[in-house]
């Protein structure tokens, strides 16, 4: 893993003690946005831990002036973050539907059948692979979080409990587990050693195999002011132009790309071996390259505008909360996602503004949000207390949440969506 140094001070977007780009090794000296100090966003606090010291780390994001990779330094190792994890993919109905739709699409497009091998990196609780299993397509999950992997295994999904990289890929390939389809949903942004990770993909892929990766699109993050998707688990913030460079450095070609609505706007890339001549570069790739160039992704100045938008959203949210509290209104949260913890810690929102939050994940219920120590309850708490406002922290699922919680309108409750700017829905 890349060893980085903390910068002593920052002036005009330039760090004094420099760290290096995790892809190309260039010294990092340009700030994309600085969100201050924050705890690990999935490190939920028990009642016994409330009076103990809680570690905070910088959320200071840089952009490389050579390859334009937007990135956080590695303050905490993946082993500390992901070996025991609180995020279970299956608790989102819309995400499950997304996974099912994907399964149908790639099975048809690439002719997958009982002779194929599908491997998913960061397979979580089997949310995706279960749909391939139902089609009698052989699968293998690779998941570092033992608590989550065990859930997949109980569903009958073979899962290797390991971090992925060249070493794991070589072990699996030596045991005949190369992939016809290698899947990585929302994992590419989570790896500090991105070169080792992509090199592992190259090793694990069969000669005519296909890689698909999904990750939040940097262009949508900037356009939608989605600063709360920045947290320590996300080491990199990715554009097509930069990801193409990362894959090309390991002799992999991105031959197709789709723009998705998930997670506030994501990309799904399709990649193959450079040596695989059976696949041609789609018009989608050419069009998105041109679009990213047009919005300025090869120009540093375009990246520097983001921080101003972030501050304005913080001011708007605090102004709304202060006004509501002065009027004696009650405010509860919905969800305990990682993005919500970035938002709340950056804005300094605690129980003085947000009475509590709720979450469907029983692992989180009865605990407290990291940093802010806002209590987390079962969603039934909303019906009990009847808050005037419900702040939707997983705003990317706002339609799903507003449908599930529509009954708050019975007592005049309203929904508040904080990103890209504060909006109130009756």
In this structure, which topology does domain 319-425 adopt according to CATH? Rossmann fold (3.40.50)
- What is the structure's pLDDT at 11? 29
Stretches where the chain sits below pLDDT 50 are 1-18
Q: How far is residue 388's CA from residue 299's CA, in Å, rounded to a whole number?
A: 45
**Span 142-171, pLDDT tens digits:** 999 888 899 999 999 999 999 999 999 999
pLDDT number for residue 82: 54
pLDDT at 391: 98
Neighbours of 422 (CB within 10 A): 17
Residue 391: CB partners within 8 Å, gap ≥ 6?
Answer: 331, 332, 333, 334, 354, 357, 416, 418
Domain ranges for the chain, please list them.
10-70, 89-303, 319-425
Q: Are 362 and 356 in contact (CB under 8 A)?
A: no
- Cα–Cα distance, 82 to 80 (Å, whole number): 6
Whether the domain at 89-303 and the domain at 319-425 fall into the same CATH topology: yes
Q: What Rg do the C-alpha atoms of the chain give, in angstroms?
A: 22
Residue 106, pLDDT score: 98
Q: What integer pLDDT is reported at residue 274 of this predicted model?
A: 98
How many other C-beta atoms can be found within 10 angstroms of the C-beta atom of residue 321?
Answer: 22
**In a 3-state reduction of DSSP, which class is residue 417?**
strand
**Residue-level pLDDT at 263:** 80
Helix and strand totals (H; E) in the chain:
14, 21
Which fold, 89-303? Rossmann fold (3.40.50)
Q: Tell which residue, 34, 89, 60, 36, has the closest CA to residue 371.
A: 36
- Looking at residue 5, its pLDDT comes to 30
Question: What pLDDT was estimated at residue 74?
Answer: 86
């Amino acid at each position: 893993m890349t060893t980085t140094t903390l910068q002593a001070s920052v002036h005009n977007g330039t760090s004094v003690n420099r760290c290096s780009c995790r892809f190309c090794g260039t010294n990092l000296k340009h700030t994309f946005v600085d969100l201050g100090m924050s705890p690990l966003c999935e490190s939920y606090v028990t009642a016994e831990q409330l009076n103990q010291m809680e570690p905070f780390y910088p959320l200071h994001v840089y952009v490389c002036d050579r390859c334009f990779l937007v990135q956080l330094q590695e303050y905490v190792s993946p082993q500390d973050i992901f070996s025991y994890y609180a995020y279970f993919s299956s608790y989102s109905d819309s995400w499950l539907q997304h996974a099912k739709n994907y399964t149908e699409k790639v099975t048809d497009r690439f002719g997958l059948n009982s002779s194929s091998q599908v491997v998913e990196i960061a397979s979580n609780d089997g949310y995706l692979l279960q749909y391939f299993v139902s089609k009698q397509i052989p699968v293998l999950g690779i998941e570092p979080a033992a608590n989550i992997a065990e859930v997949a295994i109980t569903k009958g999904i073979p899962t290797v409990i390991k971090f992925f990289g060249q070493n794991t890929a070589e072990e699996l390939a030596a045991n005949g587990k190369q992939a016809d389809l290698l899947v990585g949903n929302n994992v590419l942004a989570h790896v500090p050693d991105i070169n080792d990770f992509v090199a592992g993909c190259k090793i694990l892929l069969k000669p005519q195999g296909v890689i698909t990766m999904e990750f939040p699109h940097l262009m949508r993050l900037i356009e939608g002011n989605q600063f709360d998707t920045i947290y320590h688990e996300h080491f990199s913030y990715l554009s097509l132009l930069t990801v193409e460079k990362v894959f090309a450095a390991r002799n992999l070609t991105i031959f197709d790309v789709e723009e998705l609505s998930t997670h506030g706007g994501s990309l799904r890339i399709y990649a193959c071996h450079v040596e695989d001549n059976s696949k041609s570069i789609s018009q989608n790739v050419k069009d998105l390259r041109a679009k990213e160039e047009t919005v300025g992704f090869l120009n540093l100045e375009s990246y520097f505008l983001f921080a101003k938008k972030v501050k304005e959203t913080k001011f708007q949210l605090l102004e709304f909360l202060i006004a509501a509290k002065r009027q004696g209104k009650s405010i509860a949260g919905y969800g305990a996602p990682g993005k919500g913890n970035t938002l709340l810690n950056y804005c300094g929102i605690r129980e003085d503004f947000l009475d509590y939050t709720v979450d469907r994940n029983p692992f989180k219920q009865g605990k407290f949000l990291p940093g802010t120590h806002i209590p987390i309850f079962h969603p039934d708490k909303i019906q009990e207390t009847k808050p005037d406002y419900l702040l939707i922290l997983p705003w990317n699922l706002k339609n799903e949440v507003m449908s599930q919680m529509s009954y708050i309108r019975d007592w005049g409750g309203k929904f508040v969506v904080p990103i890209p700017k504060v909006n109130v829905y009756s």
